[in-house]
Chains A and B, each alone.
Chain A
Amino acid sequence: MSILVYAEHDNNQLKADTLKTVAAAQQIGGDIDVLVAGENCQAVVEQAAKISGVRKVLAADNAAYANQLAENVSLLVTELAGDYDHILATALTTGKNFMPRVAAVLDVAQVSDIIAVESANTFVRPIYAGNAIATVESQDSKKVITVRATAFDAVATDGSAEVVNLDQATDAQTSSHVSDEFTESERPDLGAANVVISGGRGMQNGDNFKLLEGIADKLGAAIGASRAAVDAGFVPNDMQVGQTGKIVAPDLYIAVGISGAIQHLAGMKDSKVIVAINKDPEAPIFQVADYGLEADLFDALPELEGKL
């Protein structure tokens, strides 16, 4: 059996989540090749070649893939698909964007956001915002799968895979990239951080999120937010944790001023230890918290920062 794993990257840096997707591929079992599609992405190709257990790295370095537009990347992956039984991508925005196109062209169903591999054709995935866990068997000849990275442990980076340069460039010419607007952050990536501290509507405004920064710095934590905080305009939407935002599973998740709606819990309830700080003793977040502190966050946060 052979498996193609699509590498998530920004043309400079391979995303650590790809190492977790390779881990899922190893559980399926077979020869694993990694595809790096981008422009001027040699650094990523080198990093991908070091992923443990990878047979080949396919490098498609071309202007057509500069921004990994779904129209172009899906054509490339579909072309390569003939040689593979399984095609895997991480369930991040790039993979979620182009993979269903690949599945549709190959005329197969896609299995989205798997959290466990039971066999080469049986997978486990959450449904209904994580309130139910489905075990599904794919009856298609080819399996097109996206992987929830937080559910797998990253593989090592001590490999030395062969690099194969692909020279085909497929440009659908139906879409073009206009601009990017990325949120600057020196903190760890929300999806990869070991500690996450999130604020909700209880923070009252964007300025008060500064109260989380000192604590985040002391713990090496990423800062997240609930949908209520994002919708209220306190913080940008890429900080949102939940069913419709990012799914995180850090060692420690600290929820501050977050009531704990189903939608939010879907994004963080697999965290190892959950701490809730909320002044409402009835807040549903206390039902999933390992440690709950009933307190006004405006008193608790400065004290916590001071004592860490």
Chain B
Amino acid sequence: MKILVPIKRVIDYNVKVRVKADQSNVDLANVKMAINPFCEIAVEEAIRLKEAGVATEVIAVSIGEKSCQEQLRTALALGADRAIQIDTDQEVESLNVAKLLQKVVDEEQPGLVILGKQSIDSDNNQTGQMLAALTGMPQGTFASKVEVADNKVAVTREVDGGLQTVALNLPAIVTTDLRLNEPRYAKLPDIMKAKRKPLDVKSTADFGIDLTPRTKLLKVTPPAEREAGIKVESIDELINKLKTEAKVIS
């Protein structure tokens, strides 16, 4: 079966974002960008399923400006077979991302779609679930283990309080949690080879979906600063401060 892996180009997770002075958004000019860490895990899982003989082809797809081809090339270097860029310079909301992906699913008919559980920029945690709803597929979100057998996929999910395992009929949607796997690094020869792998560019206009956002961003502000704390010299001083000054223990 084919596996479709949607990936997103986001700010590198080590970068501390700065809010623009006019509060219109965060400042992404000249900031290091990378594959969203959860998407990286999704790519890795798809490649492992291909190596295990479960998948025949891995297709990476990303929605965004031409710059997201860089992340698609990375996915190709890691082992994806081909890539699709859906070109747009607009910010696309999760629901509209899911609608675009639904069209790709209709065309490619993958047995499994693996996405990250959330992107570390918008922190929405929606796209996989929305795609599942639109395609009518079952979903295994926050996956820490994925096993395909007998036309089903067993997904062990990280839930509050522990783990839950569900069995899903294929085709299905899986969203990755951090502990699903440890993504590999791309090797230099593979990075070179990835340049020759197919990368289709499609225009959002080809999909006939209204991408007008439903949510209006009114402003973005920095979080409230915490007041500077103090260093204490000893456990006695710490306990004393917590009792008398902070009054959080008695």
Which residues does A use to contact B, with CB under 8 Å?
A: 10, 67, 69-71, 74, 92-94, 96-105, 107-113, 122, 125-140, 172, 174-183, 191, 195, 219, 227, 230-231, 236-238, 243-244, 246, 251-252, 262-263, 269, 272-275, 286, 288-295, 300, 303-304, 307-308
Whether A181 touches B163, Cβ cut-off 8 Å, given contacts A96-B141, A128-B121, A252-B248, is yes
- Whether B249 pairs with A219 at a CB distance below 8 angstroms is yes
* Complex interface: chain A residues within 8 A of B134 (CB): 104
Chain A residue with minimal CB distance to B132? A101
| 5 closest residue pairs by CB, A with B | A100-B129, A182-B162, A104-B130, A104-B133, A101-B133
- Interchain CA distance A99-B132 in the complex, whole Å: 12
Q: List 27 A-B contacts (CB under 8 A).
A: A67-B164, A70-B129, A94-B160, A103-B126, A108-B214, A110-B126, A111-B215, A127-B122, A129-B123, A131-B222, A132-B17, A135-B219, A174-B169, A175-B139, A175-B167, A176-B167, A178-B165, A180-B164, A181-B163, A219-B249, A243-B123, A252-B242, A269-B226, A274-B226, A290-B227, A293-B235, A293-B238
B71 within 8 A of A: no
B189 within 8 A of A: no
B184 within 8 A of A: no
* Complex interface: chain B residues within 8 A of A139 (CB): 214-216
Whether A262 touches B177, Cβ cut-off 8 Å, given contacts A178-B165, A292-B229, is no
Which residues does B use to contact A, with CB under 8 Å?
A: 11, 13-14, 16-17, 19, 26, 93-95, 98, 117-118, 120-134, 136-142, 144, 154, 157-169, 172, 177-179, 213-223, 226-227, 229-236, 238-239, 241-242, 246, 248-249
- Whether A308 pairs with B94 at a CB distance below 8 angstroms is no
Looking at the assembled complex, report how far the CB atom of B206 sits from the nearest CB atom of chain A, in whole angstroms: 21
- Whether A273 pairs with B125 at a CB distance below 8 angstroms is no
* Complex interface: chain B residues within 8 A of A227 (CB): 178
- Interchain CA distance A97-B93 in the complex, whole Å: 18
User: Which residue in A74, A93, A138, A291 is a CB contact (below 8 Å) of B159?
Assistant: A93
Q: How many A-B residue pairs have CB under 8 A?
A: 254
Whether A178 touches B229, Cβ cut-off 8 Å, given contacts A101-B129, A135-B218, A238-B161, is no
- Interchain CA distance A130-B120 in the complex, whole Å: 10
- Whether A136 pairs with B11 at a CB distance below 8 angstroms is no
- Interchain CA distance A71-B168 in the complex, whole Å: 10
- Whether A290 pairs with B249 at a CB distance below 8 angstroms is no
Chain A residue with minimal CB distance to B127? A100
- Whether B139 pairs with A101 at a CB distance below 8 angstroms is yes
* Complex interface: chain B residues within 8 A of A251 (CB): 248
- Interchain CA distance A129-B14 in the complex, whole Å: 11
